[in-house]
Amino acid sequence: MLETPLAIVHYPDPVLRRRAEEITEIDDETRELAAAMIEAMVNSDGIGLAAPQVGVSRRIIVLSPTGQAADASVHINPRIVESGGDEVEFEEGCLSFPEVRGIVVRPEHVTAEWEDLEGRTFRAETEGLIARIFQHEIDHLDGILFVTRFGPADKLQAKRRLKKLEEEFAVRAARR
Ligand code: CO
């Protein structure tokens, strides 16, 4: 049983660095997880959320480019099958890294594939913000932290804040 509302896991929780597992069976638990993830994303004013960010190491993401529940979509086993266009700079944030922001360079266009909650396979050519969210969230499923994609200046600027998050994590871990 899921404990809802789901709590967002913060850096440096090790679940964020793990490669999440493929979902082979879409069952009630998957559907409950998806609904709870949408709720957690919307409540946190996020536009994307990956299951490892709620402590579940499985390949499912939710996104909503407007941040509204009505625009949210669920993507199971999402993968980038093609990318192209210019490499573009964009400032990203992440719910697992409160107050950390930095420029990440990514391809402008990606073609993504995924399954929906009925197990149907979809493919879409995306660009702009949606392409950005897909890439950021799929990175989470592969255990890739967005700060590792920062340039040297943003890495340096994030350093103190990351140190603070590491200290907060150590305090919480000691309490458990
Ligand atoms: Co993120």
Q: What is the pLDDT of residue 3?
A: 85
Whether residue 4 is contained in a domain is answered as no
Instruction: Please state, in angstroms and rounded to a whole number, the distance separating the CA atoms of residues 107 and 103.
Output: 13
Active-site residue, from 3, 87, 99, 137: 137
Whether residue 56 is contained in a domain is answered as yes
CA of 175 relative to ligand 1 center, distance in Å: 25
Q: What is the pLDDT of residue 4?
A: 86
Contact between 124 and 112 under an 8 Å Cβ cutoff? The reply is yes
Whether residue 119 is contained in a domain is answered as yes
CA of 152 relative to ligand 1 center, distance in Å: 19
Q: What is the pLDDT of residue 1?
A: 66
The DSSP annotation for 27-66 comes to: -HHHHHHHHHHHHHHHHTT-SEEEGGGGT--BSEEEE-TT
pTM of the model: 0.97
Give the tens place of pLDDT for each residue, 38-53: 999 999 999 999 999 9
CA of 95 relative to ligand 1 center, distance in Å: 6
CATH of the domain at 120: 3.90.45.10
Whether residue 128 is contained in a domain is answered as yes
Whether residue 29 is contained in a domain is answered as yes
Contact between 94 and 73 under an 8 Å Cβ cutoff? The reply is no
Whether residue 6 is contained in a domain is answered as no
Structural domain for 86, as ranges: 14-175
Q: Is 137 a catalytic residue?
A: yes
How many domains does the chain fold into? Answer: 1
Whether residue 18 is contained in a domain is answered as yes
Q: Which residues pair with 115 in a beta bridge?
A: 76, 121
Task: Write out residues in the chain with pLDDT < 50, as ranges.
Answer: none
